[in-house]
Chains A and B, each alone.
Chain A
Amino acid sequence: MKKNIKYITGTALIAGILCGSLGCKKEFLKPEPLSFYEPNETYVDAAAMKAALYACARNMRIEFYGGNPPILTEMLFSETSVEGTTDKSGPAQDLNLVITPDLAGFEDDDHNKIYTYWREGYAAIKYANTVISRINNATYASQAERNAILGAAYFHRAYRYYKLTNQFGDVPAIFREITAPQLEFYSTKREVILKQIKLDLDSAFGWCSDNVNRGEVTKGAVGHLLTKVNLALGNFDDAITSANAVINGGVYSLMKTPFGPAAPPYYFPAGSTKPVSLPNNVIWSLHRPENKSVAENKEGLFMIIDRFGDGQFGTGMTIMRQAVAFWGSNVNAPSGKKGTYDNLTAELVQSNYYGRGIGRSRPTNYSQYEIWTDPNDLRHAKGNWMNMEDLLYNDPGLKSSNDVNYLKNLQLRNASGGLLTTDTIRSWFGWPHYKIFVDDNENSPKQGGHSDWYLFRLAETYLLRAEAYYWKGDLQKAADDINAVRTRAGCAPIIAAQVDMGMILDERARELFFEEGRKSELTRISFLFAKTGKVAETGKTYTLDKISDDNYFYDRIIARNNFYKNKIVTNHGDKYTISPFHILWPIPTRAINGNIEGKYKQNKGYTGYDPTLQSLDIIP
C-alpha cells in the first residue's frame, strides 16, 4: 500500500509536469493585442483611411486652442502683436534674448510654441503619409473615392510643409511612411519642398470635392492652399488661376448681409447691469460660433470643428483668456481704488460678456489704431470692437464704498491727466470682440469655450489674388480684390494707386486677426521680395543671399510694431526686441538632439549655424 502511494503520487506529479509544460509551446507566448488596432490589419478600407484623415483634421485644432495657442507665436513675430504677460521671465518679448535653439524647445505657456509647430507639423505629416503610402493597400467603392482620400492627404501634408518652410526655411522632407526606427535626417531646400507640394496639390485639386462635411478637406481649401504655394514659388499666373477657380467656382461667396441664428451684438451703457442690443451686422454674424458652419455661410473654405461634446478637446479654446486685456487687474478708478473685477461675485459679472483676459496677446499701435482709418469699418465698430472705455467699473469694493465711479465707463487717466492703470501693456488695450467672444459654459470665469474656426476663408483668397496681381503689377485688379473685402466690411474702396504690399498687409491685419499665421505670410512675402528684386514700399530691394541679414520682414515689423521699434520695457524689466534673422525660427535643440546620425541646417543668427552645410536639393 505504502509503495502504491509513492507510485500514484509520482505518476500524478509527472502527469502534472507534462500538462503544465504545454506552456512551452511558442504559441503560448505570442503577444495578443486586445484593445488597440494594428496598422496592417486596419488600414484596409476607406473608413480606416478616412479615420487617418480625421487625425490630420483634429491636429489642425492645436494651432488655435488652449493656453498660449501656437498662433500667438506666429502673431508676435509680426507688426500686429506682442507677448503681453509682463509679470515673469520667459515669455517671448526680448526676442534677441529668448529666441534661441535651447529656449525654443520650451513649450510651456510661459515661453513660445515654436517647437509645437515643429513637432505637431511632423506628427500630422506622419498621419498623412500613412494614408499616402498605403493608399493602394485598401479597397474603395470607386476610384473617385480613393482619389478624394489621397487628395485630402496631400492637402494635409502640403499645409504642414507650407507652414514649416515659411517658419523654419529648409527643413527635413519626409514624404513617405516611416515604419522602422531611423536616425539620420537632413534638411531639404525650402523651394524643393514647395515645388513638391505644388505637384501634390495640383493633383488633389482635381480629386477633391466641395460636397463634403464641414471639417473635411474641400476642393476650395485645396485651391486656396495651392494659391499660397503658387505665390510662394513666384508662379503668379498659377496663383491667379487657382484663386479664380475658388472664387468663381460657384460654391463660395463673401457673406454680405447678417445671417444665421446668432444673437446680435450688445454693449453696456454707463450705470447699466444689463446689456443693450445693437443692430446686427455681417461681420458680427460671420464670426459667431453658431454661424460659422451653417449651410447658408458660403465663406468658409476649411473649417476646424470644435463643439461641446466628445470631441476630446478639453474645455474649449480659451481664446478670450489670450486676446482680451487683463482688465480685471491693474485698473483703478479715479479715486485710486481698484476699479474692475473679473470674477463671478459682482453685481455686474462683466467677464460673462467679454471673458476674463490675461492680455497674453497684446496688439500694437499699428493693429489697434493705425489701420483703422475708415470710420465706417464694421470690423472696428461699436459692439464689434471693444475699447477699454467700453467696460464699466464694476469692482464690488466701489459699490460698497458708494464710489461715484461705480458702473461708470473706464477711463485711462484721471481729471489731472494721470494714468489710472499700472500696466498699460497688459491691462489696457482694445480687441476685436466679434471674433474673440466665444461663450463658455465650462470655465468660470469664462475664458472662451468651444467654437469652430476658419482655417481658410474666401476673404483671404481675394487678398491672395490681390497679392498675385500686385506682384504682376496689375494694380487695378489688385485694388478690385482688396475692395471686395473692404466694401463688404462697410469701408470705402481704394484706388489702384494706393495699392502696395503694405496696403495688402494692412487689409490682411484688419480682416484676418487670429486667423492668418502672420509670421509665415510675412516670411513668404519677404522671400518673394528677395527673389523678384521688386522695390518694396520701404523703398528698398532685397536679395536671397542676405535673407537673414536684410529683409522686408524686419523692416516692416520695426517700422510698424511700436514695441520692437521703441524697445519698450515691461514693468518686469524685459525689453521688446527683434532682429532681421528672426525671419526664420531656430530649429529647436531638442529636435536637433534626436537626429543623432544626421544633421539639420540651423538658420543664420542662431547658435549652431554652419554656413558650409548645404541642404539637399531633393526629396530623399
Chain B
Amino acid sequence: MGKSTRGVWLSPLFNLFLIVFSTLFSTVVNANNLPPHTVSGVIKDTKNEPLAGVSVLVKGSTNGTTTNGEGKFTLADVPDNGTLVISFTGYASQEIAVKGKSEFLVSMELTTLNLDEVVVTGYGTRTKKDVTGAIAQVKVTQLENENPPSVQDALRGNVPGIVVTASATAKGGGNLQIRGKNSISGVSSPLIVLDGVIYQGDLSDINPNDINTIDILKDASSAAVYGAKAASGVVLVTTKKGTGSKPSIGFNSNIGLATLAMDEPLYDGPGFVHWRSDVLKSQNITTAKPYQYDDPRQLPSNITTAQWLAYDNSSPTADPVDIWLTRLKLLPIERENYKKDKQTNWYDMMFQTGVRNDHTASISGRKQDVSYYMSANYNHNQGYLVGDQFTTYRIRINLEAKAAKYLTAGLNLQYADRDESQVPVTWGQMVNASPYGEVYKADGVTLRDSPNDDVGNNLNPFLDNVYTNRLRKFNTLFGSIYLKGQLPWGFSYQTNFTPNFEFYRNFNGTSAKDFRVSARKGVASRQNRTTFNWQIDQLLMWNKTFGQHRFDATFLFNSEKWQQWDETMTNEGFDPNDNLSYHNIGAGIKPVITNNDQVSTGDALMARLNYSFQDRYLLTASIRRDGYSAFGLKNPRANAPSVAVGWVMTQEKFLENIPFLNYAKLRFSWGVNGNRDIPGNLARYGALSDLTTGKYQLITPSGQIVLVSQLYVNRLQNADLKWERTTSFNGGLDFSILKSRISGSFDAYRKSTKNLLVTRVLPDVTGFTSVLFNIGEVRNQGAELSLSSINITKPNFTWRSIATLTVNRNKIIHLYGATNDYDATGKVIGKSEKDDPSNRWFIGHDIDAIWDLKVLGVWQQNEITEAAKYGVRPGDFKLQDVNNDGKFSDADRQFLGFRNPRFMWSLRNEFTFMKNFDFSFLIYSSWGMSEEFNQAKNNGGFIDRQNSYKVPYWTPENPINDYARLFSSNGSAGFSTYRKTSFIRLSTMALAYTVPASFLGRAKIQNLKVYVNVNNLAVYQPEWNWWDAEFRVNPPTDRNIIPPPRYYTLGVNLTL
C-alpha cells in the first residue's frame, strides 16, 4: 500500500504516539458519569451458607467487586436501570436487574455447566454458549490449593487433547503439544497468546499466580484467527485484573521441598565386587579358568590357592586378595579401600532435599475509572540434584484507565529476572564411579579427577559443579500498550503495541584447577545476546443486534519484526593465571570471536464474523492472510479460512420435553491453519543458501603461522519454501444432563497437514545431508472427551469429579511423491511412492512408529550352535532374521510399536468437607507407548571399569529371557531393545483449610487459606522398571531419562 519502506519503522513509534496522544486528549473531555448509586447485598448457596469471592459486575462495564468472607458485597456507581451479573466458578451465573433497588439477597446454585462463562477466543471473548469451536478452559485461580509452579503444571492433566511433558529440573516447566504431532520435523508446540497478544517469550517468565484463566483453542476454526501460525493450536493466557472497589492486597506464600520420587539403586561395595566378577567371567568367556575371578578365600576344595594364583602366573607369595582384585581390574585406590571396607556412597551425594520458595504479593482493585493489578514474585527453587537451582523475580503491572466513555487505555507489563546459572553435579557419572573410589585427593580437600583414578573412563561427578563459574541470566520485558474505544454504529476499535525484550548473558569459566583444562590454563567464554521484537495489532470490531440476529465482526491488521544480536567470545591459556575467570577474558592467549545476527518480519490481515439467530443457530467464519520473511523468496504469504456452525438443540421444541437433558449443542467446524516454525538454526534463513566460515592455518615459507578463512556452501537453497498447511474438521457435542449434575464435551477431529516443513535427507554424494523442503502429508485423527460431575452435595460434604479422555492417531499419508520403479534391466515398470528409511518415515505408519530388529529373547545354553551362525553366543539377544539370510539389514526390521501414547486419561476429584476443608487429587495416565531400553543389553560403556545400576543379567545359572549377559555382543546387528512405558500417575494431592470468616472477625482479613500439596506422589508402570519413563532431560530433542522429582508444598493465601 505505502511506498516507503521506512514507514515500517515509523509505524510502531507512530502507534505509541497515537496511543499516548489520544489518551491525554480524551481525558480532558471525560464528562459522562451517571449519578452515584451504591448497592449492597449478601450471596449464599442453596444451603444458606455465605459464598466468598463471588464476582458481582455491572453488565456491560468493568465496574465490579467480589463478596467478602460473609458473602457480602458493596458496589458504587450502579446505574438505576443497570443489570448485575453475578458469577462464581462452579455455580450458575445470574443476571439481576437493579431497577432502583439497593439491597440484594442472592442464592446461587451449584452447576457443572456455566453457559455464561467467558471464554477467550483470540482477538476477543465470547460466552461459552456462543462458542462454535473446540475450546477448553483452565481456571487457574481454581487450582490455587495445588499452587501450580508453572503454566505447564496448570495444564498438565487438566485438559483433554494437550500433552505436557514432565520436567525434573528446579526450573520446571515442560513442552506442550495439542492434538498430536502434525509436523514431521517442524516445531509442534502451540502458539502462546498472553493477554491478547502473541507471546514469544519463555513460559517461566509468567507467574502462575498472576494468571486468571488459560484457554486452549484446539480446532482449526477457533485457531484460524491466528491463521498461519496456529497449526499446533493456541494457548491463551489471561492475567488478572483489578475488580473490587476496595484495594485488595494478596499474599501467596509457598515453601516446599524437592525430593527424589523414586530410587534406582547402584551396587554397594560388596555387591559391586560380586557383579564385577560376573562381568569379567562374561567378558573373558573363552579364556576364564575355574574360579579365576572368584574370591580366593572361598575356593572349592579341588582348587588350591597356589593353582588359583598360577592362573595368571602370579607370584606364589602374593596376597591372593590383591591378585583377585587386580584380576577384577580394581585400581589401587579401590583395592586399598576394599581392604579397609571404606565405601563412598555416590548415589546419596548426588541427591538432596531441595528447598523451594515461591512468594507473591499483589494489590488490585479499581478506583473510579482506573483498574489495576500489580504483583511481585520471588521464586527460588533448589532441585533434588545437588547444584540444581533456579531463581526468578517477576513483576507484573496491569493497568487500565477509562479516559472517556469511548476510550480506554491500558498497559500490561511483565518483567522477569531469571537466573539459570546452575551447574548441577554430573549425576550420570555416579554409575561410573566405583564405591571404593573417593571424592578427594589425599589432602582431603582437592577433588580427585576420577574417583578411582581412571580418567579415561570416569570423572568425578563434582568437577563441573565445583570448577565451573557460571552466570546465565535472562532479563525479559514484555509489554503491551493498548487503546480501545467505542465508535458510532456499533463499531469499536483496539490498537496494541507490543514490544518484547530479552537480554541474555551466558558467561562461563572453567577453572584451570579442573584437570581437563589445566593444560589449557583455564577456559572462559562470554555470550551476550539481545532479542527485540515488536508487534502491532489494529483491530476494528462491529457488534450489532437486529431483532433475533446478532452480528459480531472483527477485522485485524498486524505486523511484527524480530531481531537478534548475539556475540560470543572465548579464550583460554590465561596468564599469569585464570583466577579472574570470565571477568578478564582478554588475559588469555587463544581468543575466538563469533557472532550471529538475525532478523525476520511478518504481517497479517484477518476478518471474522460471528452470527447467531435466536441464540440457537450459530455461525463463525473467518479468514486470515499471513506473511513471513522466512518464506520471502517466493511464497511469503498464506491464507487461512475457516467456518464453523453451532446448533443449540435443546432450544428446539422437539427436545424441550426430554426431562434428563438440560442442554445440548452440536458443533461442526472446518478450517485451515499454517505453521511457520522451523526448528533450530534453519528458523529464519532455511530457504537461503549460506556459506559456512571457519578458520584454517597455513605456514609461510619463513615459518610464520597465518590464519586463513575457509568458506564452503553449507546449505542448499530452496526458494520455493512455504508455509506448512493443516486442514482440519472437528465435530463436537456440548451437553448437560440430570439437572446439570453431569456435563461435558465430546470432540472428534481429523487434521491433515500438507507441505510439511521437512529437513529432507538428500543423497549424501551431493555434499549436503539434507535440505529444508515442503513435502508430504501427515494425518492426525482423534477424539477427546471431557466430563464434569457433581457426585454428592450434602451440607457438609461435596464431591465433584472431572474426567478427560484423549485418543490420537497419527499417520504419514505421503512423503516425497511417486518415483519410477525399475526392473532388473533398468526399464521403468511403473511408479510408486517410496518410504524414507533413513529418517525412519514410512507411508501409512505413525511418525513415531518404532522400526527395528525384533528381539525374540536371549540365546540359551542349548542354542549355542544356532547362535554361532549369527556370530554371537548364549546370553546375547536373539533377533528375528526375517528373510533368513543369516545377516541383519533393513529387510529384517519391522514395526515394533509406537513412541506416542495410544490413549491418555485423567481424573480429578475435588471434595469440600466440614465447610472449610478442600481436598483434591489428580490422576493421569498415558498408555501403550514404548521407549528404548538398552540397559537390557548390559553392554553400555566400559562395564569392566565402572559400577552399575542393579539391572538383571543373564548367566548360565540365571537363564532369563529379557536381559542379556554382561558385556553381551550385538553381533552384526545395529538395534535397540524396547519396553512399554505405560503409566498411571497420582500427580497432585492437595488439602486446604479456609479459616472461617467468623475467626477472622475484625482483623480486616478478607480471606485466609492454608494448604498443603504433594506433587508426583506415586506412579504405576507395569512394564518399565528403570527410573520413571515419563521424565526426560528435554523431550523431544533429548530423550535421556532423568530421575523423577517429588514436591511437597505448604502454602498460605491471604487477602486483606
Contacts and interface: CB of A to CB of B under 8 A. Distances in A.
A binds B: yes
Interface of A: 1-2, 5-6, 8-10, 12-13, 15-39, 42, 48, 50-52, 54-55, 57-58, 87-90, 94, 96-98, 100-103, 105-106, 118-119, 122-123, 125-127, 129-130, 171-172, 174, 178-183, 185, 211, 213-216, 293-295, 303, 305-312, 315, 329-330, 332, 334-338, 341, 343-345, 356, 358, 395-397, 413-414, 416-420, 422, 440-445, 452, 569, 571-574, 589-591, 593-599, 607-608, 610, 612-614
23 contacts: A13-B487, A16-B495, A21-B557, A23-B11, A28-B627, A31-B600, A31-B684, A37-B693, A51-B709, A52-B712, A87-B944, A171-B765, A174-B766, A178-B766, A180-B717, A181-B718, A181-B771, A214-B698, A344-B515, A358-B456, A413-B313, A442-B519, A613-B826
Contacts of B331: 338
Contact of A51 (B21, B636, B711): B711
A610 B717 CA distance: 35
A33 B968 contact: no
A311 B696 contact: yes
A36 B942 contact: no
Given A12-B18, A19-B11, 10 more contacts: A9-B407, A16-B14, A23-B559, A36-B692, A89-B970, A100-B888, A181-B762, A310-B590, A444-B516, A572-B967
Given A38-B691, A180-B716, A29 B636 contact: yes
Contacts of A105: 974
Interface in B668-725: 684-685, 687-703, 705-713, 716-718
B691 A100 contact: no
Contacts of B488: 6
Given A106-B974, A294-B703, A34 B822 contact: no
Contacts of A178: 716, 766-768
Given A16-B495, A178-B766, A126 B698 contact: no
A29 B449 CA distance: 54
Contact of A29 (B632, B694, B887): B632
A36 B709 contact: no
A599 B765 CA distance: 12
B819 A596 contact: yes
Given A17-B557, A22-B1, A36-B685, A126 B599 contact: no
A37 B690 contact: yes
Given A17-B557, A27-B5, A89-B969, A573 B697 contact: no
A20 B536 contact: yes
A328 to B, nearest CB: 8
A182 B632 contact: no
B314 interface: yes
B167 to A, nearest CB: 29
B632 A310 contact: no
A42 B970 contact: no
Contacts of A214: 698-701
A571 B688 contact: no
Contact of B887 (A100, A295, A341): A100
A87 B279 CA distance: 11
A304 B193 CA distance: 54
Given A185-B763, A395-B332, A607-B891, A179 B710 contact: no
B318 A335 contact: yes
A9 to B, nearest CB: 6
A258 to B, nearest CB: 18
Contact of A397 (B25, B332, B493, B603): B332
A411 to B, nearest CB: 11
Interface string B837-866: 110000000000000000000000000000
Given A97-B871, A445-B455, A42 B711 contact: yes
Contacts of B716: 178-181
A98 B972 contact: yes
B216 interface: no
B10 interface: yes
B1026 to A, nearest CB: 21
B695 A310 contact: yes
A36 B599 CA distance: 12
Nearest to B942: A87
B817 to A, nearest CB: 10
B696 A305 contact: yes
Contacts, number: 418
B685 A414 contact: no
Contacts of B1037: none
Contact of B493 (A13, A295, A332, A594): A13
Contact of B820 (A25, A39, A50, A597): A597
Interface in B260-311: 283-287, 309-310
Contacts of B702: 295
Given A38-B690, A126-B712, A441-B519, A54 B312 contact: no
Contact of B518 (A9, A102, A444, A612): A444
Contacts of A213: 698-701, 706
Contact of A34 (B18, B597, B697, B767): B597
B717 A16 contact: no
Contacts of A16: 14-15, 18, 495, 538
Contact of B763 (A55, A216, A595, A613): A595
B81 interface: no
A431 to B, nearest CB: 18
A443 B519 contact: yes
B1016 interface: no
A13 B406 CA distance: 13
Interface string B920-955: 000000000000000000010010100000000000
B67 interface: no
Ordered nearest first, which 10 A-B pairs have the shortest CB separation? Answer: A418-B313, A126-B767, A23-B559, A22-B7, A336-B314, A593-B838, A51-B711, A336-B318, A55-B712, A22-B2
Interface residues of B, number: 157
B143 interface: no
B751 interface: no
Contacts of B717: 179-180
A318 B820 CA distance: 47
A181 B760 contact: yes
Given A589-B890, A607-B885, A293 B694 contact: no
A77 to B, nearest CB: 17
Given A100-B887, A336-B318, A596-B836, A610 B765 contact: no
Kindly name the residue among B3, B313, B449, B487 whose own CB sees the greatest number of chain A CB atoms within 10 A: B313
A72 to B, nearest CB: 18
B4 interface: yes
Interface stretch (B48-56, B319-327, B430-438): B319-327
A343 B974 contact: no
A336 B603 contact: no
B889 A185 contact: no
A593 B693 contact: no
Given A31-B632, A607-B887, A594 B764 contact: yes
A120 B415 CA distance: 48
Contacts of B495: 13, 16
B417 interface: no
A422 B820 contact: no
Contacts of B8: 22-23, 25, 28
B22 interface: yes
Interface in B1-47: 1-5, 7-8, 10-11, 14-15, 18, 21-22, 25-26, 29, 32
Interface string B794-819: 00000000000000000000001001
B694 A309 contact: no
Contacts of B972: 97-98, 100, 102-103
B705 A51 contact: no
A5 B766 contact: no
Contacts of B973: 102
B616 interface: no
Kindly name the residue among A306, A341, A442, A614 whose own CB sees the greatest number of chain B CB atoms within 10 A: A442
B595 interface: yes
Kindly name the residue among B22, B636, B696 whose own CB sees the greatest number of chain A CB atoms within 10 A: B696
